[in-house]
Amino acid sequence: MCGRYGFSFGNLEDIYDRWEIDNEEIAYTASFNIAPTQEAPVVFRASPNHISLVKWGFMPKWMEGKKGARALINARSDGLLTSKTYLKPLQFSRCIVPASFFFEWKNNGSEKVPYCIKIKDEQFFSIAGLLIEQDGVKAYVIITTEPNEIMTDIHNRMPVILNKEDEDYWLSPDNTEAEDLVKLLIPYPTELMEAYPVSGLVNSPRNNFPEVMKPISL
């Protein structure tokens, strides 16, 4: 799964250039510890690309009131084609979740050690997401896939990171063939990524500062 990530930047103009966005600037600053239920930027096609703040995660109607029910924040790539919840969003309301890194926790004996995972030499990357609208309110989920080699030792899932050349295809409303779209939802190349352990500061979303992604020694 993917339950925490960061989106750090110095200037909003860099974001607008990176994803060719053409709308009024959003009131958002860099975040180093984005957690479910928080609002974060997502990019979607609205002739041209548009960026908005959207809540991460939603509670489906059929889960409301159930004991222990939690908001859905991820969608498995291997289940999209048969999902009553996600098939239509896959066809008609895809989005990009801008990120700079994400966190995952590795079982290390009696404890779980958080890791920060990044793309080498890249300030930003695009996570594949789906926009869900319920009762007039939009939310987003992050699509996950099988781990690549660097992630296998950390966790059994990873977010889908889109290749740059696939971003336009993913956002285009002209592309509605679900079978073609899921072909993009594959693990990102291992050799382009890096991962390192970080401190338990990241365990609390209240800790939203650069130190949460500082490497530590095990």
Backbone CA torsion sign across 107, 108, 110, 111: negative
Q: Do 98 and 43 form a contact (C-beta atoms < 8 A)?
A: yes
- Give every CB contact of residue 144 below 8 A, 6+ residues apart in sequence: 1, 2, 74, 75, 76, 77, 157, 158, 159, 160
3-class SS at 18?
Answer: helix
If one compares 211 and 2, the residue with the highest pLDDT of the two is 211
Kindly name the residue from 95, 104, 116, 167 that is annotated as catalytic: 104
Instruction: Report the pLDDT value the prediction gives residue 66, as an integer from 0 to 100.
Output: 75
Average pLDDT value for residue range 115-125? 96
Residue 130 falls inside a structural domain = yes
pTM for the model? 0.95
Distance, CA of 97 to CA of 54 (rounded, Å): 10
Instruction: Report the pLDDT value the prediction gives residue 166, as an integer from 0 to 100.
Output: 97
Question: For this structure, is 95 an active site residue?
Answer: no
Residue 188 falls inside a structural domain = yes
If one compares 27 and 128, the residue with the highest pLDDT of the two is 128
Residue 166 falls inside a structural domain = yes
Average pLDDT value for residue range 107-119? 92
Residue 218 falls inside a structural domain = no
Kindly name the residue from 2, 95, 116, 167 that is annotated as catalytic: 2
Rg (CA), the chain: 17
Q: How many domains does the chain have?
A: 1
110, pLDDT greater than 90: no
165, pLDDT greater than 80: yes
Q: Do 98 and 14 form a contact (C-beta atoms < 8 A)?
A: no
Instruction: Report the pLDDT value the prediction gives residue 143, as an integer from 0 to 100.
Output: 98
The CATH number of the domain holding residue 116 is 3.90.1680.10
Residue 43 falls inside a structural domain = yes
Question: For this structure, is 2 an active site residue?
Answer: yes
Q: Do 142 and 73 form a contact (C-beta atoms < 8 A)?
A: yes
181, pLDDT greater than 80: yes
Q: Please, which pLDDT band fits residue 59 given cuts at 50, 70 and 90? A: confident
Domain span at residue 68 reads 5-213
Residue 104 falls inside a structural domain = yes
47, pLDDT greater than 90: no
